[in-house]
Chains A and B, each alone.
Chain A
Amino acid sequence: MADGTGGGETIMATSEIAHAHAAPQGFIRKYVFSLDHKIIGIQYFFLALTAVWVGMILSLLMRIHLIWPDANLPLIGHIQPETYLSLLTMHGTIMVFFVLTTAPQGGFGNYFLPIQIGAPDMAFPVLNMLSFWTTFVAFVVMIAAFFVTGGAPLHGWTGYPPLSAIQSTGPGEGLGADLWITSIAIFCAASLMGALNFITTTLDLRAKGMSLMRMPLTVWSWFITAILGLLAFGVLLSAGILLLMDRNLGTSFYIPLVVVNGQVMGHRGGSPLLWQHLFWFFGHPEVYIAILPGMGVASQLLSTFSRKPIFGYRAMVYAMLAIGFLGFMVWGHHMFMSGMSPWSAFAFSILTMCIGVPSAIKTFNWLGTLWRGNVRLYTPMLFAIGFVSLFVSGGLSGPFLAQPTLDIPLHDTYFVVGHFHLIMGVAAIFGIFAATYYWVPKMFGRMMNETLGKLHFWFTFIGTYAIFMPMHYLGMAGHPRRYSQLTEVAYLHPLIPLQRFISIAAFITIGAQVIFVLNLFWSIFRGPKASDNPWEATTLEWSTSTPPPHDNFGGHTPVVHNGPYEYGVPGADRDFVMQADPAISPHPAH
Chain B
Amino acid sequence: MGLALLVVIWLITFISTYFFIAKTWWLPAGVSAAAAGIDRQFAFTYVVMGVVFVLAQCSLGYFVWKYRDRGKAAKAEYSHGNTNLEVVWTVLTAILFVGLNLMGSRIWAAERFEPAGDGALKVEVTGMQFAWYFRYTGPDGKFGLTSPKLMDPSSGSEAAIGLDTSDPAAKDDVVTGTMFLPVNRQVDLTLRAVDVIHSFFVPNFRFKQDAVPGLAIHMHFTPNEIGDYEIACAELCGLGHYKMHGMVKVVSQEDFDKWLTAREAEKQ
Measured CB to CB, the residues of B under 8 A from A are: 1-2, 5, 8-9, 12, 16, 19-20, 24-28, 37-38, 41-42, 45-46, 49, 52-53, 56-57, 59-60, 63-64, 67-69, 74-83, 85-86, 89-90, 93-94, 97-98, 100-101, 104-105, 107-109, 111-113, 128-129, 148-149, 151-154, 162, 194-197, 199, 201, 203, 206-210, 212-215, 217, 230, 232-243, 245
C-alpha spacing A389/B107, complex, angstroms? 32
Task: State whether A376 touches B49 (Cβ < 8 A).
Answer: no
- The listed residue (B8, B49, B111, B149) touching A396 by CB distance below 8 A is B49
Most chain-B Cβ atoms within 10 A of its Cβ — which of A262, A413, A461? A262
CB-CB under 8 A from A46, the residues of chain B are none
CB-CB under 8 A from B149, the residues of chain A are 264
CB-CB under 8 A from B9, the residues of chain A are 389
Contacting residues of chain A (509-531) with chain B, CB-CB under 8 angstroms: none
Q: Does A469 interact with chain B (Cβ within 8 Å)?
A: yes
Task: State whether B98 touches A258 (Cβ < 8 A).
Answer: no
Task: State whether B210 touches A337 (Cβ < 8 A).
Answer: yes
Q: Does A532 interact with chain B (Cβ within 8 Å)?
A: no
Most chain-B Cβ atoms within 10 A of its Cβ — which of A156, A270, A373? A373
Task: State whether A363 touches B78 (Cβ < 8 A).
Answer: no
Task: State whether B89 touches A361 (Cβ < 8 A).
Answer: yes
Q: Does A349 interact with chain B (Cβ within 8 Å)?
A: yes
Task: State whether B64 touches A385 (Cβ < 8 A).
Answer: yes
Task: State whether A162 touches B197 (Cβ < 8 A).
Answer: yes
Known: A406-B42, A412-B234, A491-B28. Is A360-B60 also a contact (CB below 8 A)? no
Ranked 5 nearest A-B pairs via Cβ? A256-B214, A478-B203, A473-B25, A312-B81, A342-B112
CB-CB under 8 A from B60, the residues of chain A are 367, 370, 385, 388-389, 392
| Interface 9-mer from A7-15, A118-126, A324-332, A481-489 | A481-489
CB-CB under 8 A from A375, the residues of chain B are 2, 63-64, 67-69
Task: State whether A272 touches B57 (Cβ < 8 A).
Answer: no
Measured CB to CB, the residues of A under 8 A from B are: 80-82, 85, 154-156, 160, 162-163, 166, 169-171, 255-262, 264, 269-273, 306-313, 315, 337-339, 342-343, 345-346, 349-350, 353-354, 356-357, 360-361, 363-365, 367-368, 370-377, 382, 385, 388-389, 392-393, 396-397, 399-400, 402-406, 408-409, 411-413, 454, 458, 461-462, 465, 469-470, 473-474, 476-478, 480, 482-486, 488-491, 495, 498, 567-570, 575, 588-590
Q: Which residue of A lies closest to B206 (CB)?
A: A409
CB-CB under 8 A from A308, the residues of chain B are 76-79
Task: State whether B16 touches A169 (Cβ < 8 A).
Answer: no
Task: State whether A85 touches B235 (Cβ < 8 A).
Answer: no
Known A308-B76, A469-B12; 16 more pairs at CB < 8 Å = A80-B239, A163-B196, A259-B194, A259-B195, A271-B214, A312-B83, A349-B105, A356-B93, A370-B67, A385-B5, A404-B105, A405-B41, A412-B199, A412-B235, A462-B8, A590-B80
